[in-house]
Structure 1
Amino acid sequence: MKKIILFLLFLTAFIQRSQSQTTNLPDSIYSGKQGGLHVQGVVVDQAKGYVYFSFTDKLIKTDLSGKLIGSVTGFVGHLGDLDFADDGKIYGSLEYKNDAIGKGIKKELRLQTVNEDGFYIAIFDASRIVRPNMNAEKEDLLRTVYIKEAVNDYTAKVKVGDQEIPHRFACSGIDGLAFAPAIGSTKSAKKFLYVAYGIYGDPVRTDNDHQVILQYDVSDWDKYAQPLSQEKLHHSGPEKPLEKYFVKTGNTRYGIQNLAYDPSTGNLFAAVYHGAKTQFPNYDLFVINGKKKPKEDHISSDGQDIKIKTLSLLEAGVKDARSGIRGWFFPWGATGLCPLGDGLFYISHQEKAKDGQQQSTLHKYKWTGDSLNPFVLVK
């Protein structure tokens, strides 16, 4: 009986401490003006009181009041979504490519270089980000791991009907990422890295109506991690992911922009730029059921019928009568979606200032799951 009482007291104290952390967070945090490239992702270190913003070509570190603490600059690629690993390192998606996105970034940065195509997970030592404008290549605070699976799908050419077109599964690279337990398992607390493809939204293609998510165990990634060298991209990374999952969402524009695991629900939240195909509802937000085991299915790719593993969307939100797809219409989240615990989230409201500079304000929201109002603003 004494052990049970002590356990209950410990559990109560833990819950109260967790609630205190979330309630003490400010209702909004402003990033400041950050140049011509918009915010891509955010993550919050509640214990230490820091916020990290990805602004495409730089990583910004602020305190909870929005005061700039430090930054990592010098990226000539696309730094995307962010999340924390259990060891406190920040993981972010990093793309180098020569499509419309890559050319747009280089134009904004006034660069004329043509790199090879390469996709990486950038791993930051957050404790070493101590001043503004720390160089991504010259400072000892960043390692990168090559994501070969995504590069292979991006560079592949596939048959669709009688045509041969580029990009298997319409892969445009990688963007959303999150650490989460094994999907469908309630026994293990171990977290894996989930990396979502960008998906070209071409409304004429018929092979781009699934999201693709790779699962990795990063516990042995020290053997792959290399310093960033943007003039000569390395190829050090795992040969294959542990798993490759597909999620039927219908059409999106560049796939999952922000992927976030919410421990209070056990689900993965996926924010997208909505698609344009009229046969789909084109939601902005999807929730992947983290408790439901992956299922085997088949899709057509490269003129073949291939076996895949699919994840299930949560049976909530608006259900489209024609496709059966569920999701939500919600205008924010694609540029930053960060679970805080207790059903609370910081969600980025990205905007361009009058002088043309990009900025973001994080607003605190409460998840409701309501079909019409999935999040309510906390005031």
Structure 2
Amino acid sequence: YTTLMRANINAAKTAQNQRLADEKMEKDEAVRAVINDDDMLKSFKNDNTDDQIERSLLATGRFGTQGSAELAAAVATVKKAKRGVNSNVRQQIAGAGLAATGTGIKTHADMYQAAIDASGGNSATRNAVFAKMRANAERAGNFSLSGPGHAESVDAMESMARGESASDVNSRMLTRAMEIQGAGKLLQGKPDDVKHLTGQLAADYETAMSGGDADRAMTLAAQMKSLRDADSGASPENTKAVNDMLALSGIDEGAVNPATGAAVSVDEQFARNISDKMGSNLTTEVKNSYSKELGEEHSRRIQLKNQARAAAKQPPISSAESLDMYDNLVKETAINVTNQRIRTRAGSYDVGGGNRSVPEELRRQAPYDPDNT
């Protein structure tokens, strides 16, 4: 009986707080003023004393100097908005407001954490706050945050509440946003949002490369490639964000093959960089997965090489040369497989993107030159 009564009391408090938060956001002029300003809203959410509010606003550099009338007015606005608002209601207002500005919340984990903080441990409150935040993010044009479906996002938020890391949550939900919205839609977002998105991708790619996580690096490379493929219709600011992302990730869009003079594609550069960084793991996988194909191709290349040597009255290739040829073939195949995986995954982020099978991609190699081992 006591447990049931406590649950009923908590449910009543939750409903009351939600009603108060909605009422404040709709009717309270001071609350509406801070909701439209990221910096004041963050102070409203986090600061408890006058000194804390003043320090936070002063640190932004947007509200004048110490002792200025401008700073005093901003502090007074935040204080007025906080008046008569308990901490739970304040968290609910701040969460919904930061999502509504389009720039106040940058990542899925930030959004989920704001809802968790506002919930007081109550899952119904958490879900209600999140529903408002997601809707506000969509209205604000932050298609990355609003991309995954509501139910899927709630599952991710609950997983985070149980202890899943913010980085894992961000990784998974960003992938889902790209799969659902498509790279082109994400590039229609606000420049600040796109700049953050591309910066996050570049940083995550560097982490994956440094940590030896080849599969994660391929997924991130695919996401970056899909943004590059879709940026022709983006604004100049968003196109620049994509270009900066690629440069940070070691991609030279003007790269050419010195032997042929042909341009080297973004996905091929990613594939070579990943293969070079994580060669031993990838080549072992290739040897295990494609042993028959490698053996057949190796034999074919030896035969062609020996035919060319016989025509030139030269001795056949030695065992050492044969081993070198096999090693080069394995490395070449590892690059091809990596490239194929990047392109296949990128296809799932493009509207109408297609896929290729691994065997087909392996057979789409340039004609073998027997004089080039």
Q: TM-score range by the shorter chain?
A: under 0.3
Higher relative contact order (CA 8 A, sep 6+): 1
Task: Compare the two structures and name the one with the higher helix fraction.
Answer: 2
TM-score for both structures, normalised by structure 1 = 0.23
Which of the two has higher C-alpha Rg? Answer: 2
